[in-house]
Structure 1
Amino acid sequence: MLSAYLLVSHGSRDPRQEIAMQQLAKLVNNKLESNLQRSIIGGVVSPPKCELVGTAYLELKPEPLHEQIKRFAEMLKANGYHRLKILPLFLLAGVHVMEDIPGEVALAQQAVEDIIIELQPYLGSHAGVEKLLAKQIAKSSENGYNQGWILLTHGSRRPGSKKQVEAMAANLGVLTAYWSVAPSLESRVKQLVSADCKNITILPYFLFAGGITDAIARSELQLKLQFPAVRFQLAEPLGASAELADLIWDLINK
């Protein structure tokens, strides 16, 4: 049974995030087309009749998520497809992943007949995300002696939501900080400075550039003024890369 895929992110008023989502969807679609081409040559499937990789947003769109899913599913159904896989592009198992998105998917499934809507694991659950961060750490390790790293993520007040990112940080040998809950970025910087770190790299654990990453950049400038003896480096968010598309492809095929 040929599947289609819907990549779901939080949504933002910042146009950079929607552009990045479209870029990422295109990368995933390229992988799908390559896979389908091999199957078509082998006589396994017929060529796709419509777009098979779409994007949707939990918030800040005119339609609620379940309506976006329904619209995409009805387009698939009209073209003879019977299965839609939903992939949450979220890095933490917060309220959105554990409650909001499953509820929206259930509403969409109730409204659409003759098509199976499957919710896949969220992006941050893939072990490959840790490998992407490890590459960033290895790159920043060239900066000098007394190096420290801070993995900075949004954070959630949902019980247990920090477990996955804390375990990943422990494996990577870095400290965690949170934008919306404690411990804060500044408190972690003070901890590293007290341990005589002269080079500190901040790793923003976010998918795309946006309002929060801009605010993090402003915070870095303030930290440079506050700790002039320390060399700071701010890494880029994960971004719409071929490597990230590989992780998504792996998740949607589980």
Structure 2
Amino acid sequence: MSRKSGVLLIGHGTRDELGTQEFFELGELLSRRCGDLPVESALLEFQSPTIPDGWNALVAKGATHIHVAPLLLFAAGHAKSDIPDAIKQCQSESNGITTDQSRPLSRHASIVQLAAQRISESLASMDSDPQRTAVVMVGRGSFDPCAQADMRLLSEIVRTRLSLPNVCTAFYAMAEPKLPTVLRQVASTGRFDQILVYPHLLFHGRLYQAIVRQTEEAMEEFPSVRFHYTDYLGPNSYVSDAIADRVLGDTKRKAKQFPSVAGPTKNG
């Protein structure tokens, strides 16, 4: 039976106006990236359209199979329970709609490339001595040990790719070490003239503002060290490419690895 597919892009949601705008901008980029495949954007919390809103919009467009694309950097509670539970509820209220859920963006090549680009551009503008410069990569943080390990591994990949001698990982919440602790430890060694903070976040919002504030507090505590921070990932074509590959590329790879059982065709 032929299926008409659609993509449901699910963001976490934020009360930040700019962050919300950036989410929908990314949805537009993904829609253009997916061509004729319909894309609807939905939010897990705080705002509309909700997940049922996005689901129903795709069904109204004739979708009989929905690719669920969680806009999450790492696999934790939202990817493992909150979003699947919401999708099951939607599915129970629809007839004959099938789904699959793509993996979080994690260490997709396009995400690694964009993170490395954010850091390398900032380092170039600082005119820094690599041996006297530390890079601190900051993740949102999660109680999930796999998500924590994923962030640490991302830092190591970026360190290797850019041949940086001094890179460490910090978290904003729910995991150790916290950003203020790491900034204090690095700045107090006396080995570094400059510290660059990279917030590994998708959009503007409360978390980004908090990371900037904690960095500025470190500036006041250690006036002899120059602190800088990069931009976050943002609504960028690298991010939309990563989502599209998670949705379409993973689906094709699964189909090739686990072909469906069917009757004989004309060609046998």
TM-score range, shorter chain: 0.7 to 0.9
Report the TM-score when normalising by structure 1: 0.85
The aligned runs of 1:48-87 (5 Å cut-off) are 52-61=38-47, 68-87=50-69
Query: Which ranges in structure 2 are unaligned for 5 or more consecutive residues?
Result: 160-166, 251-268
Matched AA of 2:58: L
Distance 2:230 2:215 in 1: 11
Distance 1:135 1:188 in 2: 23
The aligned runs of 1:39-118 (5 Å cut-off) are 52-61=38-47, 68-118=50-100
Matched AA of 2:77: V
- Pairing partner for 1:14 from 16, 19, 35: 16
The aligned runs of 1:101-250 (5 Å cut-off) are 101-142=83-124, 143=126, 144-145=128-129, 146-173=132-159, 174-180=167-173, 181-193=175-187, 194=189, 196-250=191-245
Residues 84-136 of structure 1, C-alpha deviations (whole Å, 9 max, x = no match) = 11111111222112222122222222221122222111122523212211112
Q: CA deviation at 1:172?
A: 2.1
Distance 1:175 1:11 in 2: 28
Distance 1:177 1:188 in 2: 6
Deviates more, 1:202-211 or 1:93-102: 93-102
Secondary structure of 2:78's partner?
Answer: helix
Preserved contact between residue 8 and residue 55 of structure 2 (Cα < 8 Å): no
The aligned runs of 1:24-35 (5 Å cut-off) are 24-33=26-35
Distance 1:92 1:232 in 2: 27
Distance 2:62 2:48 in 1: 27
Matched AA of 1:12: T
Distance 2:80 2:32 in 1: 29
Distance 1:156 1:79 in 2: 36
Query: Which ranges in structure 1 are unaligned for 5 or more consecutive residues?
Result: 37-47
Distance 1:70 1:112, change over 3 A: farther
Matched AA of 1:132: L
Distance 1:75 1:93 in 2: 26
Preserved contact between residue 24 and residue 41 of structure 2 (Cα < 8 Å): yes
Distance 1:161 1:228 in 2: 34
Distance 1:79 1:157, change over 3 A: closer
Secondary structure of 1:214's partner?
Answer: helix
Aligned residues: 234
Distance 2:184 2:81 in 1: 35
Distance 1:117 1:163 in 2: 29
Secondary structure of 1:160's partner?
Answer: helix
Matched AA of 1:107: Q
The alignment-based identity, stated in percent, is 26
Matched AA of 2:43: Y
Deviates more, 1:186-195 or 1:92-101: 186-195
Distance 1:113 1:147, change over 3 A: same
Distance 1:203 1:233, change over 3 A: same
Secondary structure of 1:18's partner?
Answer: helix
- 4+ runs deviating over 4 angstroms: none
